[in-house]
Structure 1
C-alpha cells in the first residue's frame, strides 16, 4: 500500500513577530488546519474564516475572525492580516471590523481607537491571541478556508 507524503506547509511568523508577539502555538494550529484542508500547489494566498454559528447582535457569542496568509516566492507562507469582527449599532446592528492586525502594512486598528503602528497593540494582541487559541482548542468555530 502506497502512502502519500504529508504536505509540508511552512509559515514564517518571524516577520510578524517584528511587530507583535505571535506565538509558535498559533503557527502550529494554523499549519494543522492548512494541512487538513490543503489547497492546490498553485495557491498564492489563503483566507481562513472562523465563525460561531450562534453569534448574533442580540445574544453575543464568539466574534468572527478572518486570517489571511500569502505565499512568498520562496514558497513560505506569511501572515498578512488578522481581523476580528463584531456587531456595532443599536437599532440596525452591522457586523464590522473591531480589531485588525495588518502585518502587510504594519498598521493596527481598534474600534474607537483608530489606526496606529502595529507594535502599539502588543498587549491587546496577547490577550486576543490567547482567547482565540482557547476558542480553537474548544472547537467553538466553524472553519472555512478559501484558497486563492
Structure 2
C-alpha cells in the first residue's frame, strides 16, 4: 500500500502532483513515497482514468495493428485505381505493421492511421508507372485525396 507522498527534504505531507513543498519551500521533481522512500511515479499526469490505465506506455499495440490492417483491407479498394489489388493489400498490411510496432495504443492508432492515410496516394502514384493498372486518371485522385484527408484527420485527433 502506498502512503501519502512526502517531501524529500522535510518529510512533510505533499500532494502527488506537487512540484514544491508547502512546509519548507523546496522544489522537487516528484514527492517521495513514505513507505518505499522512492519517488512517486506519475500518479496524476493529466489523463483520464481510462486513458491512463489503457495506455500506460507498455501496451501491446498488435491488436490496433490488426484493426488498422482490416480497416485498410475494407476501405482501400474504394479509393484505389483498378488493377491494384495486390498493392492495396500490401499497403493495408504495411499500415497494420506500422501500427503494431508502436509502443503505446495512442501511438499505434496515430501512426497506423497516418500510414493508412498515405496509402491511396502512393497507390495512385504507382498506378502511373505499373502497366495494366488503368494508367493516369485525375478522377481517381479525388477519392484518394478525400480518403487521405479524412483518415489523417482521424489519426491526428487520436494521437
Structure 2 length as normaliser, TM-score?
0.28
Q: Which has the higher strand share?
A: 1
Larger relative contact order (C-alpha < 8 A, sep ≥ 6)? Answer: 1
Give the number of the structure whose alpha-carbon radius of gyration is greater: 2
